[in-house]
Chain A
Amino acid sequence: DAKTTQPTSMDCAEGRAANLPCNHSTISGNEYVYWYRQIHSQGPQYIIHGLKNNETNEMASLIITEDRKSSTLILPHATLRDTAVYYCIVRSSSSPQGGSEKLVFGKGTKLTVNP
């Protein structure tokens, strides 16, 4: 029941920018877009999140379209260690009544960075 759609796989050359798209056409006004990645046999690693504005941190940039129906995660200079499955997740900014703040992970995009 993931609310996002991502390509199954992508390739990128080492040193080039990796642009990972995500569609979230049913996103509502109080929902954030989160990105995590999971390297094989490790726990998911938080990358970045945003609501409306573009965001940048030491790991990546997040570009959210004006209508908020899609976003792109940008790794500016991909390295071999960026090879992982990248998950785009939509989650509310407020706690659900009587419920948990579980994260719903879809299948994600398998990014392979090639030498």
Chain B
Amino acid sequence: DGGITQSPKYLFRKEGQNVTLSCEQNLNHDAMYWYRQDPGQGLRLIYYSQIVNDFQKGDIAEGYSVSREKKESFPLTVTSAQKNPTAFYLCASSATGGGNTQYFGPGTRLTVL
């Protein structure tokens, strides 16, 4: 939080529809991350980007896509190929370089009906 915004806070979609989650930061951070959190579980990394126009798969990238056309923005698309999309999605950012602190947005709770 503090300079990272995610919208919307709650999102409902029908099964089979693609949906895009927004993440914006004004911290001038080069690196941005998307995590997924399921009830009672820790965070799992979906995608990350260390610089504009470049991104890498995390541990659970299947069924998701991202873009990084601007430094401030890192949208995540949950596609119909994602088997269990209902979850709490968290975006984070940090300065690049080893060990820099990651700061999180408020999250988007996606429910697929």
Contact = CB atoms under 8 A, between A and B. Distances in A.
Are A and B physically bound partners?
A: yes
Interface of A: 2, 32, 34, 36, 41-46, 49, 87, 91-95, 100-108
B99 A102 contact: no
Contact of B109 (A36, A41, A45, A46): A41
A49 B101 contact: yes
Contacts of A108: 42
Contacts of B42: 2, 87, 104-108
B45 to A, nearest CB: 4
Given A105-B42, A105-B43, A100 B56 contact: yes
Contacts of B103: 46
A62 to B, nearest CB: 14
B31 A101 contact: yes
B26 interface: no
Given A32-B99, A43-B1, A100 B58 contact: yes
10 contacts: A41-B109, A43-B4, A43-B105, A46-B103, A93-B98, A95-B96, A101-B94, A102-B45, A103-B35, A104-B42
Nearest to B49: A100
B64 interface: no
A102 B48 contact: yes
Among B43, B90, B92, max chain A CB count under 10 A is at B43
Q: Which 4 A-B pairs have the closest CB atoms?
A: A105-B42, A94-B98, A43-B104, A93-B99
B56 A42 contact: no
Contacts of A102: 33, 35, 45, 48, 58-59
Contacts of A94: 98-99
B18 interface: no
